[in-house]
A and B are shown apart, each in its own frame.
Chain A
Amino acid sequence: MTHRIDIDITLAPGGREIACRIASDAKLTALVGPSGAGKTSVLNAVAGLATPLAGHIRVAGTTLFDAAAGVNLPPERRRTGYVFQDTRLFPHHRVAANLAYGTRFAAPEDRWIGQDEVVALLEIGDLLARWPANLSGGEARRVAIGRALLSAPRFLLLDEPFAALDPLRAEALTGLIERIRDELDIPILLVSHSAAEVARLAGQVVELHPHTALA
Chain B
Amino acid sequence: MLSEAEWAVIALSLRVSLVAMLVTLPLAYALAYLLVRRRFPGRVLLDAAVHLPLVLPPVVTGWLLLIVFGRNGAVGGWLYETFGVALVFHWSGAALAAAVMALPLMVRAMRLSIEAVDRRLVGAARTLGATRWQAFCTVTLPLTVPGIAAGAMLGFARSLGEFGATITFAANIEGQTRTLPLAIYSGLQVPGNEDAVARLAVMSIILSMGALVLSEWLVRRAQGKDAHVL
Contact = CB atoms under 8 A, between A and B. Distances in A.
A80 B127 contact: yes
A86 B121 CA distance: 10
Contacts of A80: 127
Contacts of B129: 76, 79, 102, 105-106, 151-152
Contact of B127 (A48, A91, A92, A106): A48
B193 to A, nearest CB: 52
Nearest to A46: B127
Contacts of A147: 128
Given A76-B129, A105-B129, A88 B142 contact: no
B186 interface: no
Contacts of B127: 47-49, 75-76, 78, 80, 82, 151
Q: Is the interface of B mostly helix, strand, loop or mixed?
A: helix
B134 interface: yes
Interface string A61-84: 000000000000011101110101
Nearest to A50: B123
Nearest to B118: A88
A151 B143 contact: no
A99 B203 CA distance: 50
Given A84-B120, A86-B120, A92 B128 contact: no
Interface residues of A, number: 24
Interface in A76-120: 76, 78-80, 82, 84, 86, 88, 90-92, 101-102, 105-106
A48 B120 contact: no
Contacts of B128: 76, 101-102, 105, 147-148, 151
A74 B126 contact: yes
B143 A92 contact: yes
Contacts of A75: 123, 126-127
Contacts of B118: 88
Contacts of A76: 126-131, 134
Interface in B156-201: none
A106 B134 CA distance: 13
A101 B129 CA distance: 9
Nearest to A101: B128
A88 B121 contact: yes
Interface string B96-124: 00000000000000000000001011011
Contacts of A86: 120
B139 interface: yes
A101 B139 CA distance: 11
Interface of B: 118, 120-121, 123-132, 134, 138-139, 142-143
Given A76-B127, A102-B129, 15 more contacts: A48-B126, A49-B123, A49-B126, A75-B126, A76-B130, A80-B127, A82-B124, A84-B124, A88-B120, A90-B121, A90-B139, A101-B125, A105-B128, A147-B128, A151-B129
21 contacts: A49-B127, A74-B132, A75-B123, A75-B126, A76-B127, A76-B129, A76-B131, A76-B134, A79-B129, A82-B127, A84-B120, A86-B120, A88-B118, A88-B120, A101-B128, A101-B138, A102-B128, A105-B130, A106-B129, A151-B129, A152-B129
The 3 A-B residue pairs whose C-beta atoms are closest, nearest first, are A105-B129, A102-B128, A75-B126
